[in-house]
Amino acid sequence: MRPVRVLFDRRTLKADVSSGVVLGLEAVPDGLAAGLLAGVNPLAGLYAYLFGMVGAAFATGSMFMAVQATGAMSLIVADSGLETRADPDRALSTLALMTGVVMIIAGLLNGGRLLRFVPTAVMTGFITAVGVNIILGQLANFTGYAAEGANRVTRTFDLLLHLWRIDLPTTLVGFVTVALIIVLQRTRLRALGLVVAIVLGSALAAAFDTWFGASVAVLDDLVDVPGGLPAPVAPSFDDVLFLLVPAVSLAFVGLVQGAAVAAAFPNPDGRPVPPSRNFLGQGAGNLVAGVFQGMPVGGSMSGTGLIVAGGAKTRLALFVAGTVMALTLLLFSGLVGYVAMPALAALLIVVGFGAIKPARVNSVARSGIFPLTIMAVTFVLTLLIPLQFAVLVGVALGIVLFVADQSNAVRVRQLELVEDGRMREVDPVDHIGVHQVVVLQPYGSLFFASAPHFESQLPTVDERTARSVVALRLRGVDQLGFSSIEVLKRYARDLEARGSRLMLVVSNDRVMDQLELTGLAAELGDGGIVRGTEWIGAGVRQAVHDARAWVHADSDRG
Nearest to 56 by CA among 305, 303, 306: 303
Question: Which pLDDT belongs to residue 554?
Answer: 55
Q: Which helix (H) or strand (E) holds 424?
A: strand 423-426
Question: Which pLDDT belongs to residue 1?
Answer: 39
Measured CA to CA, the distance from residue 53 to residue 59 in angstroms comes to 10
Question: Which pLDDT belongs to residue 9?
Answer: 64
- Spans of all domains in the chain: 29-163+240-330+359-403, 411-557
Nearest to 92 by CA among 254, 250, 286, 290: 290
Measured CA to CA, the distance from residue 405 to residue 357 in angstroms comes to 26
437-443/469-473 β-pairing: parallel
Question: Which pLDDT belongs to residue 3?
Answer: 45
The three-class DSSP label of residue 555 is: helix
Task: Provide the CA 497 distance to its chain's centre, in angstroms.
Answer: 51
Nearest to 282 by CA among 100, 111, 108: 100
Measured CA to CA, the distance from residue 194 to residue 200 in angstroms comes to 10
Q: Which residues of 259-281 are buried (b: 16+ CB within 10 A; e: fewer)?
A: bbbbeebeeeeeeebebbbbbbb
Question: Which pLDDT belongs to residue 7?
Answer: 55
Nearest to 88 by CA among 29, 44, 47, 52: 44
Per-residue pLDDT of 204-261, as tens digits, reads 999 999 898 889 999 988 888 888 899 999 999 999 999 999 999 999 999 888 888 8
Task: Provide the CA 290 distance to its chain's centre, in angstroms.
Answer: 22
Measured CA to CA, the distance from residue 281 to residue 373 in angstroms comes to 35
Question: Which pLDDT belongs to residue 217?
Answer: 93
Superfamily (CATH H level) for 411-557: STAS domain (3.30.750.24)
- Which segments in the chain show pLDDT lower than 70? 1-10, 117, 554-558
Question: Which pLDDT belongs to residue 5?
Answer: 46
Measured CA to CA, the distance from residue 306 to residue 193 in angstroms comes to 12
Q: What letter does residue 211 receive in the DSSP assignment?
A: I
Q: What is the CA radius of gyration of the chain?
A: 31
Question: Which pLDDT belongs to residue 557?
Answer: 52
